[in-house]
Amino acid sequence: MHCWLLFHREVRRDVPEAAEVMRFQQAASEAGIRLDVLNPRHFELIVDGSEGWSAVYQGRRLPKPDLIIPRTGSETSYFTLAVLRHFERQGVPLVNSSGAVEAVADKLQTLQILSGAGIPIPKTILGKFPVDVNVIERELGFPVVVKTLRGTRGNGVLLCANREQFNDLANLLDGAQSGSDFIFQQYVEASHGRDVRVLVINGRAVAAMERRSTDGSFKSNISLGGVGTAFEPPSDMAELAVRVTQVLGLDVAGVDILLDRDGYRICEANSSPGFQGLEKACGISVPNEIFNAMRNRLGLPPAQRRRSSWKRLLDSLRNAVRLDSRPAPTEPAREPT
Ligand SMILES: Nc1ncnc2c1ncn2[C@@H]1O[C@H](COP(=O)(O)OP(=O)(O)O)[C@@H](O)[C@H]1O
Ligand SMILES: [Mg+2]
């Protein structure tokens, strides 16, 4: 299998989300999969009406892959989406599709789609400036959650305790002319500092963990110091997570579920979820799960697991030692002359 993984940053240890890309590289090399990590911004998007395959990357033509894995998440720009659509139209399967990546890159759009399908969500209002604090108080009450539309890793999310704090924040956002890049959301108090992340692949809940913050924060993100423990989701929760992915058209997703007093509420769905915490908590290889599911879907034979390079090295050392410890060949007895 030949895959492209699209990532818009450098693959270096100190770069957020690069660790996941490295895990894909490692798993691909062990499974004998050719994986090219490409930056979507480095493609030339040439639409010329011809029928054939066209992919120009940094001035070079690239052969057609079997599969494209976009790992650009909520930072997917218009250009990247156009690149995804370009290859989708040329018949390359994407996990996830451009439409699904676009739908979940915007937290409000995700919630609009889910709410339209009757899936429980926290009540949410799109920011409009100047903000009418009375509407916020009446519809959502305080404390209230404030989020940027495209935040990730818990960075663009905060809790406003009361009307005064909210007024200060609203004035600040208004002064900064932030436009409508914010949503205000009902605070699901019962879920303070904990939620459940379910990994869904091809319509199956593959693994789940409960995440808890360790510093009293209402946010449970692992990237902010939250801890994850393996969790067996009850069947209604697993079914809900799967339904979320179906409604949003996601083949692979990390679905975040808040635990309210009267049931579950979907916080968000991630099209390229971080998974270091999940791998640690659940002892699975997320890239392998994805590769295997996609091989199945593409009708390709299962992976022939290759020995890792250190194993190959170890084996060759072992062989060398074995050779050395063989008794030295004895001189052939000479026939007396
Ligand atoms: N409405 C809410 N009520 C309670 N906790 C919330 C709410 N929204 C988010 N959280 C907490 O904040 C975390 C981060 O929010 P989320 O919308 O998933 O942003 P991000 O995309 O940055 O992870 C969630 O995992 C959850 O723990
Ligand atoms: Mg989240």
Residue of 211, 218, 275 best suited for mutating to test ligand 1, as the one with most atoms within 8 Å of CB: 218
Residue 328: predicted pLDDT: 41
Closest listed ligand to the CA of 144: 1
* Residue 327 clears pLDDT 60, i.e. is over it: no
Kind and range of the H or E run holding 245: helix 235-248
Distance 70 CA to ligand 2 centre (A): 18
191 close to ligand 1 (CB < 6 Angstrom):
yes
- Residue at 249 is within a domain: yes
Q: How many CB atoms lie within 10 A of CB 71?
A: 20
Number of Cα atoms under 13 Å in the Cβ half of residue 151:
17
What is the mean pLDDT of the segment spanning 43-58?
90
Residue 180: predicted pLDDT: 59
Q: Which atom of ligand 1 is nearest to the CA of 195?
A: 27
Kind and range of the H or E run holding 32: none
153 close to ligand 1 (CB < 6 Angstrom):
yes
What is the mean pLDDT of the segment spanning 160-167?
96
Coil vs helix vs strand at 297? helix
* Residue 322 clears pLDDT 60, i.e. is over it: no
Residue 308: predicted pLDDT: 57
Q: Which atom of ligand 1 is nearest to the CA of 154?
A: 22
Q: Of 144, 162, 187, which residue sits at a domain end?
A: 187
What is the mean pLDDT of the segment spanning 16-40?
96
* Residue 337 clears pLDDT 60, i.e. is over it: no
- Residue at 113 is within a domain: no
- Helix-helix angle 98-105:235-248, to 10 degrees: 110
Q: Are residues 172 and 202 in the same domain?
A: no
Residue 320: predicted pLDDT: 55
pLDDT digits (tens, 9 = 90+) for 269-320: 999 999 999 999 999 999 999 999 999 988 888 776 665 555 656 655 655 5
Q: Are residues 206 and 181 in the same domain?
A: no
Q: Are residues 129 and 160 in the same domain?
A: yes
Q: The domain containing residue 144 runs over which residues? A: 123-187
Residue 323: predicted pLDDT: 44
Instruction: Give the whole-number percent of the chain exceeding pLDDT 70.
Output: 89
218 close to ligand 1 (CB < 6 Angstrom):
yes
Q: Are residues 137 and 173 in the same domain?
A: yes
Q: How many domains does the chain have?
A: 3
Closest listed ligand to the CA of 211: 1
* Antiparallel, parallel or unpaired: β 2-6 and 67-70: parallel
What is the mean pLDDT of the segment spanning 43-63?
91
Number of Cα atoms under 13 Å in the Cβ half of residue 258:
23
User: Bigger pLDDT: 331 or 102?
Assistant: 102
- Residue at 12 is within a domain: yes
Please give the DSSP secondary-structure letter assigned to residue 321.
Answer: H
pLDDT digits (tens, 9 = 90+) for 192-212: 999 999 999 999 999 999 999
- Residue at 151 is within a domain: yes
Q: Are residues 44 and 127 in the same domain?
A: no
Helix, strand, coil shares, percent, the chain, to 5: 35, 25, 40
- Residue at 160 is within a domain: yes
- Residue at 25 is within a domain: yes
Residue 329: predicted pLDDT: 39
- Residue at 322 is within a domain: no
Residue 128: predicted pLDDT: 87
Distance CA 203, CA 181 (A): 31
Q: Are residues 235 and 284 in the same domain?
A: yes
pLDDT digits (tens, 9 = 90+) for 217-257: 999 999 999 999 999 999 999 999 999 999 999 999 999 99
Distance CA 170, CA 185 (A): 14
154 close to ligand 1 (CB < 6 Angstrom):
yes
Residue of 186, 256, 257 best suited for mutating to test ligand 1, as the one with most atoms within 8 Å of CB: 256
What is the mean pLDDT of the segment spanning 73-86?
92
Token pair, residue 221, equals 């993100």
Give this prediction's pTM. Answer: 0.89
User: Bigger pLDDT: 128 or 36?
Assistant: 36
What is the mean pLDDT of the segment spanning 106-115?
97
What rounded mean pLDDT belongs to the chain?
90
Token pair, residue 107, equals 């937290």
120 close to ligand 1 (CB < 6 Angstrom):
no
CATH of the domain at 131: 3.30.1490.20
Whether the CA torsion 170, 171, 175, 176 is positive or negative: it is: negative
What is the mean pLDDT of the segment spanning 95-104?
96
72 close to ligand 1 (CB < 6 Angstrom):
no
197 close to ligand 1 (CB < 6 Angstrom):
no
Distance 267 CA to ligand 1 centre (A): 6
Distance 135 CA to ligand 1 centre (A): 22
Atom 4 in ligand 1: residue holding the nearest Cα: 188
Distance 219 CA to ligand 1 centre (A): 6
- Residue at 130 is within a domain: yes
